Structure formats: C-alpha cells, structure tokens
Amino acid sequence: MHPWCGYERLINICQKNQKNLTTIPHYAILPSYIILTECCSIVTENRHPMRLNVGFLINSPIGTSRDFHFEFPRIHLQPDLDLNDLIGVARIGRTPQGLLVQGKFQARFEAECVRCLREFEQPLDSEFSELYAFNRRSVSESGLIVPEDGKIDLEPLIREYLVIEIPISPLCKIDCKGLCSICGADLNEMTCEHQLHNSDATITS
Ligand SMILES: [Zn+2]
Ligand SMILES: [Zn+2]
C-alpha cells in the first residue's frame, strides 16, 4: 500500500463511497486509484482512471487548492499511449476564472533505439499548467471548460503533454554505438572485423 495511506483507511473510504476494492493490500492489483494528499484514497472507474470530481473546488473560496496524486505501474492512455510507472501530481486551484490545473508527471515509455534497435525504457517528464474556465468568456487557448458535472478527466491532457516528450529518434544512451552496417554486430558489445579495418565505419542511425 502507499506509504501515506493505511490499508484499513482505504477500505473504510471505499465502503463509504461504495467503491470496490480488491482485498489484497497491494496497490499494484488495483487497476486504478487516486490518493489525495489528505490521506484518503478513491478507487476510480477503470475506464476513466484520471477523472477527478472537483465539484467541491468550484464552490470553494478563491485560492483553495488540492493536490491529487497519481501512481500507475502500467497505464493505457486513450487511444494509443502505453506507459509504465506513471507518477505525478495535479494541483487544482480555484481562481476567479476557473480551475487552474498545475501538473507534474513522469512516466516510462517502451521505445526502440534507432541505432542499436534495442528496446529500452525512455523516461518522460512533463510539467504543465492549464485553466479549465467556468465559462466561455474566460476560456484560454486550450479551450478547456469545467464540465457541468464537475468532473475533470485529466487523461487527454496528461497524454498530450507526455506524448510530446517522446523523442522522434529515441536513443538507448546518448553515445550508443549502433550496429555495424555490414554484419549487424551490436557495437556497444563488440568490435567486429569491419570496424577494425575501417575505424571510420558508418554507424547506422
Ligand atoms: Zn542503442
Ligand atoms: Zn561488422
């Protein structure tokens, strides 16, 4: 279980909210959950693991904010992004114009090195700030509006910000030596005869 949260406490909260909780005290078995900083947790709907009920913030005084923590060992962000170890926090604050979401997220993406063709985990790191406006008059460039049901789904936003962090040409390491263009040997692990004959041999990229 998350170090901040007692398992018992999580069960109580789930029962109060009539949410289902699998009874093994290990977070990894939960398909999705959210931990609030005030030490309570909500198991969310599987289909919308990042949907937050922020109705209470809409009715709070200006300046009120709340942190929502996210942690998913594996997650699929609709429609196409699979990530490992997604972890992050979204601070949602009440402003006169709407709800300001300040997010800080990290995840790992399974990528293939363009030089050596090996699979590796590309770390992604993103920080953003977006306003969900109360009405059209104060809407920002992103065009985000607080939905009428008071539920904000951060999934599209987080996907968008993480996806742009994926490099076009991922490298397993900055000085990856790649493969020999003649015999295909992985030059990170060995030097083949072609490299010995020609020290300027081309590195495939
Ligand atoms: Zn490589
Ligand atoms: Zn070779």
Tens-digit pLDDT profile for residues 138-183: 888 888 999 999 999 999 999 999 999 999 999 999 999 999 999 9
In a shared domain, residues 92 and 189: no
| Minimum mean pLDDT range among 13-22, 25-34, 164-173, 183-192 | 25-34
First to last CA, the chain: 43
100-127: average pLDDT: 97
159-191 burial code (b ≥16 CB/10 A, e <16) = bebbeeeeeeebbbeeebbbbbeeeebbbbeee
Question: Is 72 inside a domain boundary?
Answer: yes
Distance 86 CA to ligand 1 centre (A): 23
Q: Which ligand is nearest to the CA of 112?
A: 1
Q: Which two tokens stand for residue 183?
A: 């015999």
In a shared domain, residues 61 and 109: yes
172 vs 186: CA distance, rounded Å: 13
In a shared domain, residues 118 and 160: yes
Examine the pLDDT at 3 and tell me if it is beyond 70: no
In a shared domain, residues 127 and 154: yes
Examine the pLDDT at 14 and tell me if it is beyond 60: no
Question: Is 40 inside a domain boundary?
Answer: no
Q: Output the pLDDT for position 203.
A: 52
Distance 205 CA to ligand 2 centre (A): 15
Examine the pLDDT at 184 and tell me if it is beyond 50: yes
Higher-confidence residue of 139 and 12: namely 139
In a shared domain, residues 90 and 165: yes
Q: Which domain holds residue 196?
A: 176-205
In a shared domain, residues 184 and 152: no
Distance 7 CA to ligand 1 centre (A): 42
In a shared domain, residues 194 and 110: no
In a shared domain, residues 65 and 134: yes
Question: Is 111 inside a domain boundary?
Answer: yes
Q: Burial, 101: exposed, middle or buried (Cβ in 10 Å; 0-12, 13-18, 19+)?
A: buried
Q: Output the pLDDT for position 42.
A: 45
Question: Is 10 inside a domain boundary?
Answer: no
Q: Which of 12-16, 122-126, 135-139 has the highest mean pLDDT?
A: 122-126
Examine the pLDDT at 63 and tell me if it is beyond 70: yes
In a shared domain, residues 158 and 73: yes
In a shared domain, residues 61 and 161: yes
* DSSP H or E segment with residue 197: helix 193-197
Distance 117 CA to ligand 2 centre (A): 16
Question: Is 99 inside a domain boundary?
Answer: yes
Distance 73 CA to ligand 1 centre (A): 25
155 vs 100: CA distance, rounded Å: 16
Distance 88 CA to ligand 1 centre (A): 28
- How many structural domains comprise the chain? 2
Q: Which ligand is nearest to the CA of 202?
A: 2
In a shared domain, residues 127 and 191: no
Question: Is 28 inside a domain boundary?
Answer: no
Question: Is 34 inside a domain boundary?
Answer: no
In a shared domain, residues 74 and 166: yes
115-140: average pLDDT: 94
Examine the pLDDT at 5 and tell me if it is beyond 50: no
2 vs 73: CA distance, rounded Å: 12
